[in-house]
């Protein structure tokens, strides 16, 4: 399994090694209602043909991290969290090392949450920023 968490993982329908997180090698370091942190190694599985990190890897990690963070906060009320929108801007290409994501919640509503996710390279330079809106809905089967 590639996904590693510092706390227990929430109940899900897929194990993380069979989901996008596991396939792309995402490591969730911390997740909670206010902030989250994650990272991935820059390997061929996240690179585009020119050797830099594919934009989809940033968007996927941002949505995954915002999903885990929101779900952690709303699952006690019988709710689930799922991506509603995802907008990523790229500042600097990354071709090696590790990309780290830091997510901060900017809006906590009854049916939607908004997260800002900043990505940095190993030198601490910003390489991308994502705004993710999460829909909060009743959990399936709940």
Does 63 qualify as catalytic in the annotation?
Answer: yes
6 CA to centre of own chain:
15
Cα angle, residue 8 at apex, residues 83 and 103 outer, rounded to 5°: 40
User: What SS3 class is residue 27?
Assistant: strand
* Contact (CB, 8 A) for 96 and 59: no
Q: Which of 21, 63, 96, 102 is catalytic?
A: 63
Catalytic residue annotation = 63
């Amino acid at each position: 399994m590639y996904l590693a968490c510092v706390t227990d993982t929430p109940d899900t329908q897929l194990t993380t090694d069979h989901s996008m997180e596991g396939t792309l090698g995402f490591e969730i370091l911390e997740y909670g209602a206010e902030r989250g942190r994650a990272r991935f190694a820059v390997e061929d599985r996240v690179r585009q043909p020119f050797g830099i990190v594919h934009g989809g890897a940033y968007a996927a990690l941002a949505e995954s991290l915002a999903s885990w963070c929101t779900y952690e906060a709303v699952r006690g009320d019988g709710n689930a969290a799922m991506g509603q929108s995802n907008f990523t801007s790229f500042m600097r290409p990354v071709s090696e090392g590790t990309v780290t994501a830091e997510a901060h919640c900017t809006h906590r509503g009854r049916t939607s949450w908004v997260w800002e996710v900043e990505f940095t390279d190993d030198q601490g330079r910003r390489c991308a920023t994502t705004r993710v809106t999460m829909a909060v809905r009743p959990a399936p089967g709940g």
